[in-house]
Amino acid sequence: MTLVYPSVLLLLLGIPVLLLMQFREYSINKEDLRRIGGFWENEGVRSVFFIKWFLSSLFLILTYTFFTFSLAGINWGEQPIEEDRVGLDIMYVVDASYSMLAEDIPPSRIGRAKEVIRGLSENLPGARFGLVAFKGDGTVLLPATEDVYALENALNYLNTEVISSPGTDLEAALNSALTALPQSSNRHRIIVLFSDGEELTGNFVDPALEAGRLGIPVFTYGLGSREGSTIPQGDGRIVRDPQDNPVVTRLDSSSLEEIARLSRGSYFEAAAGLGSLDTRIKELTGQRGTDGFRLVSITRYRFFLTLALLFYIGHILIRRIKLRGLF
DSSP secondary structure letters along 237-288: EE-B-TTSPBPEE----HHHHHHHHHTT--EEEGGG-SHHHHHHHHHHHT--
To 10 degrees, the CA torsion angle through 140, 204, 169, 191?
-30
Which pLDDT value is given to residue 279?
85
User: What is residue 275's predicted lDDT score, i.e. its pLDDT?
Assistant: 63
Residues above pLDDT 70, as percent of the chain: 85
* Structural domain harbouring 271: 82-295
User: Do residues 183 and 102 both lie within one domain?
Assistant: yes
Q: Is 326 or 106 the better-scoring residue by pLDDT?
A: 106
Q: How many domains does the chain have?
A: 2
3-state secondary structure of 123: coil
**Could you tell me if 199 and 243 lie in one domain?**
yes
Contact 34, 108 (CB under 8 A): no
Confidence class for position 213, pLDDT limits 50, 70, 90:
confident
Of 275, 108, 81, 282, which is closest to residue 184 (Cα–Cα)? 81
Residue 286 has a pLDDT of 62
pLDDT of residue 258: 94
Say if 184 falls within a structural domain.
Answer: yes
Whether residue 50 is found in the same domain as residue 87: no
Question: Are both 66 and 88 inside the same structural domain?
Answer: no
pLDDT top residue among 33 and 129? 129
Q: Give the pLDDT band (50/70/90) at residue 291.
A: very low
Q: Are residues 50 and 159 in the same domain?
A: no
C-alpha to C-alpha distance for 189 and 215, rounded to whole angstroms? 8
Rounded Cα distance, 308 and 66, in Å: 5
Cα separation, 188 vs 154, in Å, equals 23
Average pLDDT in the 22-31 region? 82
Domain identity same for 289 and 309: no
Residue 293 pLDDT grade (very low, low, confident, very high; cuts 50, 70, 90) = low
Q: Are 219 and 266 in contact (CB under 8 A)?
A: yes
Quote the pLDDT of residue 295: 57
Residues 57 and 176 grouped into a single domain: no
Which of 85-99, 173-187, 218-232, 288-302 tops mean pLDDT? Answer: 218-232
Per-residue pLDDT band for 323 (boundaries 50, 70, 90) equals low
Report pLDDT for 125: 83
DSSP state of 107: S
What is the pLDDT at residue 270? 84
User: Cα(152)–Cα(160) distance, rounded to whole angstroms?
Assistant: 17
Do 157 and 238 belong to one domain?
yes
In the predicted model, what is the mean pLDDT of residues 134-143?
A: 90
Q: How many CA atoms lie within 13 A of 223 on its CB side?
A: 30
What's the rounded Cα separation, in Å, for the pair 282 and 123?
9
Q: Are residues 162 and 47 in the same domain?
A: no
How confident is the model over 244-248, as a mean pLDDT?
91
Considering the domain architecture, whether residues 275 and 209 belong to the same structural domain is answered as yes
Is residue 314 assigned to a domain?
yes
One domain for residues 310 and 253 = no
Q: Comparing 252 with 136, which gets the higher pLDDT?
A: 252
* Segment among 13-22, 96-105, 217-226, 233-242 with least mean pLDDT: 233-242
> CA dist 313 to 15, 56, 308, Å?
19, 10, 9
All residues at 6 or more sequence positions from 166 whose CB lies less than 8 Å from its CB, including other chains? 135, 136
pLDDT of 327 over the 60 cut: no
Q: In the predicted model, what is the mean pLDDT of residues 307-327?
A: 80
Instruction: Count CB neighbours of 309 within 10 A.
Output: 14
pLDDT of residue 94: 96
Domain at 215, CATH number: 3.40.50.410
Q: Which residue did the predictor score with more confidence, 134 or 123?
A: 134
pLDDT of residue 100: 93
Q: What's the mean per-residue pLDDT of the chain?
A: 84
Q: What is the pTM of this model?
A: 0.63
